[in-house]
Amino acid sequence: MSENSKPSHASQFTFRNLNWINASFLTLAPLLVVISLPVHLYKYGFDWRLIALFLFYYMATGVSITAGYHRLFSHRSYDASKFIKILYLLFGAAALEGSVLKWCTDHRRHHKFVDTEDDPYTIKRGFFYAHIGWVYLKEDPKYAGVRAADLANDPLVRWQNDNYFAIAILVGFLLPTLIGFLIGSPWGGLIFGGFLRVVVTHHCTFFINSLCHMWGSQPYGDKTTARDNFVLAFLTYGEGYHNFHHRFEGDFRNGLRWYQWDPTKWWIQTLSAFSLARNLRKISESEILKARLVADETKLIQWGFYDDSLRELKKTIEESQKKIFQFKARYKELKSDITIQRDVKIQEIRYELEKARAEFNLALQQWRRLCRAYSEQVAIQAL
Ligand SMILES: [Zn+2]
Ligand SMILES: [Zn+2]
């Protein structure tokens, strides 16, 4: 174990190092759910309105963490209206994962020092520590009280930080109890919309720090332990494409393609359609492809398969993608052209564009096929 990855004294599970408020809640809340849920179901039976309350609160608090705490406040990957920011601050507090100020400071440190002892939830200390163990402990004295300056200067963020416990109790427990009361079941409201929802949301978002650094593929490189995993994306509101996220943290998407499960991305796009979010930041297609090709290339070199034909293939992919962008730009220009030859020129560009697309798709397919074949060969040899 290197000096840098040695656990510091502050991250040891000793009596003195425990954060008793966090430790008590994280231990007692699941116990309370395990006892109260069957008792409630036995006594009052199944009520779909309580399930609806649970689902609403599960999405509202979970997305406030992923779209709010994470992609807005931590990474500034888009701008949101004041109204949406306030909703994130209220329902994010109700998720009981700390204030924006503390959460985002920790998260930025996670990105900056990922997989080292300065990463607050480093996976190098194992699943339990990264998932929940680190929350049981007091802040590392090295970073105690250190907070992100830009967030500390935001009056709304400061207000949430100063009133965190009051907001968390009010929105996280009293409001669902009140809704439960209005539908004739205050205890049901507290259990389904409060405790059960908190426990489920906790562990779903905690998976981002634990399993998303352990299980899945690494299409954008293995310099960090972050991984892409569809199953985890499903459980983490789309944050399971964590390898992409660690490579391009400023992108508002985690699931890059339209078909990749990323409800947080869809939520932000919906907000944008209603002018409640703007400046959605995206990394360019060429940069993303370049990162992917470099990651593949590194693996192929490591395995000893990288030769001139693969080098040529990579060049063809990059050049044909460049041509596609150039022809698309030219096509756009011609659309506003009013000269008589416009239609002929458009026909020509369309033909060139299709040719470049075909060349790009063919070369990329071939590249992927070869990468897959070589990786299978390496896996078989390792058996
Ligand atoms: Zn991570
Ligand atoms: Zn992040």
Tens-place pLDDT, residues 150-181: 999 999 999 999 999 999 999 999 999 999 99
Is the pLDDT at 15 greater than 90? The verdict is no
Count of structural domains within the chain: 2
Residues 111 and 204 in one domain: yes
Higher pLDDT, 243 or 2: 243
From 278, 305, 325, the end of a domain falls on: 278
Paired sense of beta strands 277-278 and 79-80, if any: antiparallel
- Give the pLDDT score at 2: 42
Residues 242 and 348 in one domain: no
> What is the 208 CA–ligand 2 centroid distance (Å)?
9
φ/ψ (deg, to 5) at 252: -70, -15
* Mean pLDDT calculated for residue range 22-40: 95
> What is the 225 CA–ligand 1 centroid distance (Å)?
8
Is the pLDDT at 39 greater than 70? The verdict is yes
Is the pLDDT at 134 greater than 90? The verdict is yes
Is the pLDDT at 280 greater than 80? The verdict is yes
pTM listed for this prediction: 0.90
Residues 241 and 293 in one domain: no
Residues 90 and 210 in one domain: yes
> What is the 298 CA–ligand 1 centroid distance (Å)?
22
> What is the 120 CA–ligand 2 centroid distance (Å)?
13
* Mean pLDDT calculated for residue range 317-333: 92
Residues 243 and 290 in one domain: no
In which band, very low, low, confident or very high, does the pLDDT at 338 lie, cut at 50, 70 and 90? Answer: confident
> Quick one: which ligand is closest to 77's CA?
2
Residues 111 and 228 in one domain: yes
In which band, very low, low, confident or very high, does the pLDDT at 353 lie, cut at 50, 70 and 90? Answer: very high
Residues 292 and 257 in one domain: no
> What is the 123 CA–ligand 1 centroid distance (Å)?
9
Residues 157 and 271 in one domain: yes
> What is the 30 CA–ligand 1 centroid distance (Å)?
25
Q: Are 245 and 226 in contact (CB under 8 A)?
A: yes
φ/ψ (deg, to 5) at 318: -65, -40
Q: Which of 174, 156, 181, 138 is nearest to 50 (CA)?
A: 181
In which band, very low, low, confident or very high, does the pLDDT at 6 lie, cut at 50, 70 and 90? Answer: low
Residues 223 and 357 in one domain: no
From 254, 278, 302, the end of a domain falls on: 278
> What is the 5 CA–ligand 1 centroid distance (Å)?
17
* Mean pLDDT calculated for residue range 84-106: 97
> Quick one: which ligand is closest to 110's CA?
1
> What is the 260 CA–ligand 2 centroid distance (Å)?
18
> What is the 68 CA–ligand 1 centroid distance (Å)?
16
Residues 344 and 261 in one domain: no
CA–CA–CA angle 303, 305, 321 (5° rounding): 110
* Mean pLDDT calculated for residue range 321-330: 92
Is the pLDDT at 3 greater than 50? The verdict is no
Separation of alpha carbons 203 and 128, rounded Å: 11
> What is the 106 CA–ligand 1 centroid distance (Å)?
11
From 255, 278, 301, the end of a domain falls on: 278
> Quick one: which ligand is closest to 75's CA?
2
Residues 115 and 53 in one domain: yes
Residues 83 and 222 in one domain: yes
- Give the pLDDT score at 10: 61
Domain of residue 89 covers 3-278
Which of 1-10, 38-47, 146-155, 282-291 is predicted least confidently?
Answer: 1-10
* Mean pLDDT calculated for residue range 231-237: 94
Is the pLDDT at 285 greater than 80? The verdict is yes
Is the pLDDT at 335 greater than 90? The verdict is no
Helices (H), the chain: 20-44, 48-63, 82-94, 100-112, 127-131, 149-152, 155-162, 164-169, 175-182, 186-188, 197-209, 230-235, 242-247, 263-273, 285-303, 308-335, 342-382
